[in-house]
């Protein structure tokens, strides 16, 4: 398979891009080769596609089902009882809709934690996108449950690790308030032995910090450090409530923090992600959407804009988190955090998007990166390529109507019963 994109904008100049197999093999001013697919890039600009560092993809099933509620009633009345009734098929349908939505908004990688691993794995495999898929690990401090969860993790690892080139198998211990210390240590060991990433929620709410201090005499990151859980394999979602000592600990271990500004604001977690503190200490960071029950979309455009606005507003300084840094968090930094060798460069894997430069919202085009962060929306993305395959062209994705209809049917089956 090969793709030749003629005359599209790459940075500030017009170039041809030649994709051979799964790789960008050449970018230059004039490429004359035969290709299986040819794309006229006259009204298009090539840009890195997005890495979504934290989501629960199948929660598309819950989009708009319950909003504007206090956190605990929302979880206890609306989310948890319905999640308990999810089937693998429903998760497959929800994740397939999520993959479609991500492709249509320029995202080619997502880091996913949810129930019914196999449903999400199947959806990602079919949809052509990349993912780090982890099953949720929750033992609620029950040793019997812990053994079941370890067994399930091992079984999933045996079946799925290294089974697909686009899908990383990873571990998903939910949080320190739902997973026992013994299980966290087992996960740590298992991940080291098998070279796996570990995705966990950390310090999303102040209550979590208070409870941890009460129970362990330590704040969450101090506690995770003390038990030896932290490493460069860890992706910690949220980290809204870390102090400077904890920021230094995260930096020391080269752990990754996934920031989800929209969910943090929508659920009113109170605090503000301390971006400048993490930047000062060189903590690795990426951006995520969180699930659609608390966002309610998977658009990295919305996420970038909200991240930048929130920091400027909170720090009372419009120069904080400028567009270029924000775009990096959603692309290059995200790739680095998940070991992806992508970017619009020869030799990199061919994961990128082509945006429609004639969209009014991207005009007059003084600064493409600013336009991406502050002006663009999902509808500006024309073409998405992942692993050398065209997943969307002229905003058309295969089977779109069927995916939407089947996911909607699954959602209504789940939530009306």
Q: 3-state DSSP call for residue 49?
A: coil
Nearer to a second copy, 146 or 354 (CB): 354
Nearer to a second copy, 322 or 343 (CB): 322
Nearer to a second copy, 162 or 363 (CB): 363
Nearer to a second copy, 74 or 177 (CB): 74
Residues 334-363 that bind a second copy (CB under 8 A): 358-361, 363
Stretch that binds a second copy, among 148-156, 249-257, 302-310, 340-348 (CB under 8 A): 302-310
Taking CA atoms, 390 is separated from 118, 128, 167, in Å, by 25, 9, 18
Contact between 319 and a second copy per CB under 8 A: yes
Nearer to a second copy, 223 or 301 (CB): 301
One DSSP character per residue, 278-328 reads HHHTT-EEEE----GGGSS---HHHHHHHHHHHHHHHHT-TTSS-HHHHHH
CB 127 within 8 A of CB 69: no
Nearer to a second copy, 232 or 317 (CB): 317
Among 11, 21, 143, 270, binds a second copy (CB under 8 A): 270
Residues 244-263 that bind a second copy (CB under 8 A): 262
Contact between 75 and a second copy per CB under 8 A: no
Q: Which residues contact 49 (CB under 8 A, 6 or more apart)?
A: 106, 107, 108, 109, 331, 342, 351, 352, 353, 384, 385, 386
The values of phi and psi at residue 18, to 5°, are: -115, 120
Among 1, 31, 213, 415, binds a second copy (CB under 8 A): 415
What is d(CA 151, CA 135) in angstroms, rounded to the nearest whole number? 12
Least distance from C-beta 336 to a second copy, angstroms?
A: 23
The values of phi and psi at residue 204, to 5°, are: -80, -40
Residues 156-215 that bind a second copy (CB under 8 A): none
Residues 77-136 that bind a second copy (CB under 8 A): 97, 100-101, 104-105
**Cα torsion at 260, 266, 270, 276 (round to 10°)?**
30
> What residues form DSSP beta bridges with 198?
171, 234
Nearer to a second copy, 141 or 374 (CB): 374
Taking CA atoms, 80 is separated from 71, 75, 85, 91, 380, in Å, by 12, 6, 9, 14, 35
The size of the interface with a second copy (CB under 8 A), counted in residues, is 74
Least distance from C-beta 133 to a second copy, angstroms?
A: 20
Nearer to a second copy, 180 or 297 (CB): 297
Among 266, 279, 332, 393, binds a second copy (CB under 8 A): 266
Nearer to a second copy, 143 or 270 (CB): 270
What is d(CA 308, CA 330) in angstroms, rounded to the nearest whole number? 12
Least distance from C-beta 166 to a second copy, angstroms?
A: 20
Residues 9-68 that bind a second copy (CB under 8 A): 60-65, 67-68
Taking CA atoms, 155 is separated from 233, 334, 416, in Å, by 21, 29, 33
Contact between 299 and a second copy per CB under 8 A: yes
Among 313, 341, 396, 398, binds a second copy (CB under 8 A): 313
Among 34, 165, 268, 417, binds a second copy (CB under 8 A): 268
Stretch that binds a second copy, among 14-22, 46-54, 70-78, 178-186 (CB under 8 A): 70-78
Q: 3-state DSSP call for residue 1?
A: coil
- What's the distance, Cα to Cα, between the start and end of the chain in Å? 46
Stretch that binds a second copy, among 23-31, 277-285, 334-342, 372-380 (CB under 8 A): 372-380
What is d(CA 263, CA 269) in angstroms, rounded to the nearest whole number? 9
| Other CB atoms within 10 A of residue 271 CB | 17
């Amino acid at each position: 398979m090969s793709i030749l994109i003629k005359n599209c904008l790459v940075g500030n100049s017009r170039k041809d891009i030649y994709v051979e197999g799964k790789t960008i093999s050449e970018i230059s001013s004039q490429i004359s080769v035969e290709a299986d697919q040819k794309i006229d890039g006259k009204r298009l600009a090539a840009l890195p596609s997005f890495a979504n560092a934290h989501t629960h993809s199948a929660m598309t099933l819950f989009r708009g089902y319950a909003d504007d509620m206090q956190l605990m009633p929302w979880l206890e009345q609306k989310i948890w009882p319905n999640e308990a009734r999810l089937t693998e098929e429903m998760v497959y349908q929800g994740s397939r809709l999520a993959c479609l939505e991500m492709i249509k908004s320029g995202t080619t990688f997502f880091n996913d934690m949810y129930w019914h691993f196999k449903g999400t794995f199947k959806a990602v495999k079919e949809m052509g996108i990349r993912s780090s898929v982890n099953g949720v690990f929750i033992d609620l401090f029950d040793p019997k449950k812990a053994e079941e969860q370890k067994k399930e993790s091992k079984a999933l690892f045996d079946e799925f690790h290294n089974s697909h080139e686009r899908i990383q198998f990873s571990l998903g211990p939910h949080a320190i308030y739902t997973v026992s210390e013994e299980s966290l240590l087992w996960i740590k060991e298992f991940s080291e032995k098998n070279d796996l990433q570990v995705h966990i929620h950390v310090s999303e709410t102040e209550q979590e910090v208070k409870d941890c201090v009460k129970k362990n005499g330590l704040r969450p990151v101090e506690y995770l450090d003390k038990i030896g859980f932290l490493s460069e394999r860890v992706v910690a979602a949220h980290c809204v409530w870390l102090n400077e000592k904890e920021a230094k600990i995260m930096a020391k271990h080269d752990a990754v923090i996934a920031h989800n500004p929209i969910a943090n604001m929508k659920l009113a977690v109170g605090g503000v992600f301390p971006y400048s503190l993490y930047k000062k200490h060189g903590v690795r960071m990426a951006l995520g959407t969180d699930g659609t029950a608390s966002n309610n979309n998977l658009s990295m455009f919305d996420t970038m804009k909200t991240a930048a606005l929130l920091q400027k507003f909170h720090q009372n300084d419009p120069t904080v988190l400028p567009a270029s840094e924000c775009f990096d968090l959603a692309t290059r930094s995200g790739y680095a955090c998940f070991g992806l060798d992508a970017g619009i460069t020869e030799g990199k894997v061919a994961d990128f998007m082509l945006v429609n430069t004639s969209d009014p919202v991207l005009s007059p085009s003084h600064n493409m990166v600013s336009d991406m962060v502050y002006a663009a929306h999902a509808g500006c993305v024309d073409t998405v390529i992942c692993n050398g395959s065209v997943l969307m062209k002229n905003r058309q994705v295969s089977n779109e109507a069927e995916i939407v209809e089947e996911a909607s049917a699954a959602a209504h089956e789940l939530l009306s019963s």
